[in-house]
Amino acid sequence: MNRIGSYTFSIEAGDVDIFGKYPLPVLVRKMLDCAGYHADERGWGLRHLNAGNCSWVLARAAIELENFPEIYDQIVIQTWVEDLNKHFSTRNFSFQNQKGEILGYARTVWSMIDLNTRKAVDLTVVSDISNHKVDKECPIDKPGKIGIVSCEPEYFHDVKYSDLDINGHVNTCKYVEHIINLFSSGIEQIVVLKRFDVTFLSESKLGDRLHFHRATASDHETQIEITGHNSRSICRAKITFKK
Amino acid sequence: MNRIGSYTFSIEAGDVDIFGKYPLPVLVRKMLDCAGYHADERGWGLRHLNAGNCSWVLARAAIELENFPEIYDQIVIQTWVEDLNKHFSTRNFSFQNQKGEILGYARTVWSMIDLNTRKAVDLTVVSDISNHKVDKECPIDKPGKIGIVSCEPEYFHDVKYSDLDINGHVNTCKYVEHIINLFSSGIEQIVVLKRFDVTFLSESKLGDRLHFHRATASDHETQIEITGHNSRSICRAKITFKK
């Protein structure tokens, strides 16, 4: 089996945003679906792990696109494992359109937990992932460290049914959706979004109140932090816009 | 070409809700995707209509399922045109799992508008839709009339980026998502949801404040109305739970 997974799909009219572009939260969802297909096909997907009471946990991600896919595009997402140690596995992605043009790349960092103890599991003992490592170019920076955003929250969201995944936690893509929605009052900025870095620090559940803090670092860089009860940090993101 | 469109897809781990079931808003999105495939394949999909500055508008829908699809199910959505007159086209759907068991059905009623004048277009002059009518069983009631819900709003939502479709209006599936989220504090009710009726009355745009009114008609029936500025009615829904 090829070490690189390659998945093609079409972008439908119902998928795109007001600009006719594929929205970042939906692209992240699709990217994670492709990670799932790739891992499933090779025997270490969620359906195998859950049988052993383990699960993948996304720790950090960076996604950087020169151009977002558009309505009726056919896109190809490729994904592969770059590296692996006891604590983390790094999985990369490339995004390509029907003309074969590279739209961008993503880098993700995963750990694995035991669903009973909620503690990390040694990744090197899980099947043969390390035999699937690929030395393929991924010419974007690694997910950056993102500091605390100390200003007051500007928006609140109480976690609802549609935010939850099968583990009862807020879904990764929903964090991305709520973060991007902070730009709704200056919506034209979303069209020039170039790079999204995110770090997940703790979980949130049904009924939790999420506090959204935003700091504009420069014309083309904004940091966002989501905190919960007692200022517990849940998630931090950095958005870089085209200059 | 077969008059009935048939589309198979898998339900991934990232698609399901806290109960491991495929959520209604996501099923509605998939159902509308299938309507799009079917119409596109036959020459009267959005991509053809938009070229002539027209668009389909969903007026009413009813979806009724004995069982919702579950994680890792392979489901088949079939869709066909039941009838057509100058003003409306009715399109039905069936949902089936990998064992060939029928999970349920849906009925939808569509009109077509001219995107410049925003006025209705005579459907009988659009290509050959009436040649595609199928006399196939769809054993659920038609979308019901839903009255005004006169109680005070219990929830407000300001329309955001992720709510919008390519026409700049709130996406059908997002209305369904916000309506179902009203049950977040009694989330176990969502598992016994059986039927969802919805009528779309007017559009809403970025920054509009949506007011959600809910009236519990009985143990197993709830009505919801979404209103906008000056109590303008945007959307009405009726949810029927299993007894």
Alpha carbon A34 to its chain centroid, in Å, reads 12
Contact across the interface for B18 and A47, Cβ inside 8 Å:
no
CA–CA dist B123, B111 (Å, integer)? 8
Mean residue pLDDT across chain B: 94
The pLDDT of residue A50 is 78
Q: What is the pLDDT of residue A118?
A: 85
The secondary structure of residue B142, as a DSSP letter, is P
Q: What one-letter code names the amino acid at B7?
A: Y
CA distance A211 to chain B (A): 16
ipTM for the whole complex = 0.95
d(CA B183, CA B143): 22
Residue of chain A with shortest Cα separation from B35? A14
The overall average pLDDT reported for chain A is 94
Question: Are B2 and B43 a contacting pair, CB within 8 Å?
Answer: no
How confident is the model over B169-177, as a mean pLDDT? 97
Instruction: Say whether pLDDT at A57 is over 70.
Output: yes
Question: Does B33 contact chain A (CB < 8 Å)?
Answer: yes
Which DSSP state fits B139?
-
Q: Which of A23, A33, A171 sits opposite B12 (nearest CB)?
A: A33
Q: Least CA distance to A18: which residue of chain B?
A: B166
Contact (CB, 8 A) for A24 and A196: yes
Interface contact B100, partner A, CB < 8 A: no
Take residue B15 and report the two structure tokens written for it: 């698609």
pLDDT at B69 over 90: yes
A160 and B206: CB-CB below 8 Å?
Answer: no
Residue B124 has pLDDT above 90, yes or no: no
Structure tokens at A204: 């949130």
State whether residue A65 is helix, strand or coil.
strand
Cβ separation of A207 and B190 shorter than 8 Å? Answer: no
User: B158 by DSSP, 3-state: which?
Assistant: strand
The confidence score (pLDDT) of residue B131 equals 86
Largest distance between two CA atoms of chain A: 51
Q: Is A219 exposed, middle or buried (0-12, 13-18, 19+ CB in 10 A)?
A: exposed
Give the amino acid at B22.
Answer: Y
User: How many other C-beta atoms lie within 10 A of the C-beta of residue B151?
Assistant: 11
Which chain A residues have a beta carbon less than 8 Å from that of B190?
161
Q: State what percent of residues in chain B have pLDDT above 90.
A: 82
pLDDT of res. A52 = 78
- pLDDT at residue A59 tops 90: yes
- B163: tokens are 């709510």
Q: What pTM was computed for the model?
A: 0.96
Q: CA A19, CA A15: separation in Å to the nearest integer? A: 11
Residues of A in contact with B206 (CB under 8 A): 18, 184, 187
Q: Which residues on chain A are in Cβ contact (under 8 Å) with B56? A: none
Residues 130-169 of B with CB under 8 A from A: 158-162, 164-168
The total of other beta-carbon atoms located within 10 Å of residue A61's CB is 24
User: What is the C-alpha to C-alpha distance for residues A180 and A6, in angstroms, rounded to an integer?
Assistant: 27
Which of A26, A77, A169, A184 is the mutation pick for testing B, counting most B CBs within 10 A?
Answer: A184
When pLDDT is averaged across residues B230-237 and rounded to a whole number, the result is 96
Condensed to tens digits (0 to 9), the pLDDT of residues B160-171 reads: 999 999 989 999
Residues paired with residue B8 on neighbouring β-strands, in sequence order: B76
**Structural domains in chain A plus CATH codes:** 5-132 (3.10.129.10), 155-241 (3.10.129.10)
Per the listing, tokens 């959600």 go with B212
Task: Please write the tens of the pLDDT for every residue from A104-142.
Answer: 999 999 999 988 888 999 988 776 888 889 999 999 999
Nearest one of B239, B202, B210, B197 to B62, comparing CA atoms: B197
User: How do B193-200 and B209-218 pair as beta strands?
Assistant: unpaired
Q: pLDDT tens for residues A184-198?
A: 999 999 999 999 999
pLDDT reading at B51 higher than 80 = no
